[in-house]
Structure 1
Amino acid sequence: MISLIVAMDKNNGIGNKNKLLAHISEDLRYFKRITDGNTIVMGYNTYMSLPKRPLPNRRNIVLTTKDIKLDGAEVVNSIEELLKLLNTEEETFICGGDSIYKQMLPYSDKLYITHIFDEFEADTYFFY
């Protein structure tokens, strides 16, 4: 099962300058609880924006066109390569950025959306 997990403001903003819009402790704890022990997939910029890499107790996969190796994360260069790696019986979480969300939406079974009832300065948006 492939799930998208995202937190967005009332204008569907999800990020600004490669950072989260807001650090909401309750939502960060929710993200950790839901994704703990599972596979997470993100783009290169999202991975590099993490304060601690890789995210612990999760299989970290980075989807990028870059020909790189990352300590603690598997790197795949295409959706096809990613889909071959995934165990369809286990839940995999797509956690950004916007390009990865758009590419993976057609393959997704579930959306986990945190709606932030506020407005923030954003340069990245989620559309579904």
Structure 2
Amino acid sequence: MKISMIVAYGKNWEIGLKNQMLWHISEDFKNFKTITSGHHILMGRKTFESIGKPLPNRISIVLSNSGFECEGVHTFNDIQKALNFARENAEEELFIIGGANIYETMFPYVNKMYLSEVDFEGIADAFLKEIDFSSWDLTEEKTHEAIIVDGKVKSPAWNFKVWIKKD
């Protein structure tokens, strides 16, 4: 089973503030949906709570030590049990979707990254740990321009990149 992470982050590795995303990029949300649909998605409890419900056409796995339960969600307090659950359900590509602690904890298991680098610098309280790309190969890259409406940035510019871990 391939283990992938998918995340959008700002220029200083910002990913969130008060359990919310820092920007709204409609095209990136569509990209996330297309990539993760039909797969298992693994997240922490706070990320799940920020989404508010299981995402359609995906199997939600939540890592939590608090005894968290929610209908339609598979909760584990052990990484190996969560990974085994996905494997036992014939998952081919498990997606790590956040938050910061889950990304850091799961990073050693990751062999593919779907990264949205957002042209954003601002206040945040959740950050992605800086990634050393020297052991990764860039396999895909697409640049998206900012969307400006009435002189205001409706959607910041962003680059979408796919990285594969080198053997």
TM over 0.5, yes or no? yes
Q: CA deviation at 1:89?
A: 5.5
Number of positions where the alignment pairs a residue of Structure 1 with one of Structure 2: 127
Q: What's the C-alpha RMSD, in Å, of the aligned pairs? A: 1.2
Quote the Cα distance in structure 1 between the aligned partners of 2:127 and 2:85.
Answer: 28
* Higher Cα Rg, which structure: 2
Quote the Cα distance in structure 1 between the aligned partners of 2:78 and 2:91.
Answer: 21
Q: CA deviation at 1:84?
A: 1.5
1:98 maps to: 100
Q: Tell whether the 8 Å contact from 2:5 to 2:114 is kept in structure 1 after alignment.
A: yes
Q: How does 1:46-57 map to 2 (within 5 A)?
A: 46-51=47-52, 53-57=53-57
Q: How does 1:21-32 map to 2 (within 5 A)?
A: 21-32=22-33
1:14 maps to: 15
TM-score by length of 2: 0.73
Higher relative contact order (CA 8 A, sep 6+): 1
Q: How does 1:43-82 map to 2 (within 5 A)?
A: 43-51=44-52, 53-82=53-82
2:159 maps to: none
- In structure 1, the gaps of 5 or more residues are none
Quote the Cα distance in structure 1 between the aligned partners of 2:33 and 2:107.
Answer: 21
Q: CA deviation at 1:86?
A: 2.0
Relative to total residues, which structure has the larger strand share, 1 or 2?
2
> Given the alignment, which residue of 114, 121, 125 partners 2:123?
121
Quote the Cα distance in structure 2 between the aligned partners of 1:25 and 1:8.
Answer: 15
The one-letter code of the counterpart of 1:7 is A
Quote the Cα distance in structure 1 between the aligned partners of 2:23 and 2:122.
Answer: 8
TM-score by length of 1: 0.94
CA shift digits 1:24-46 (9 cap, x unpaired): 10100000000011110000000
What fraction of aligned residue pairs are identical, expressed as a percent? 44
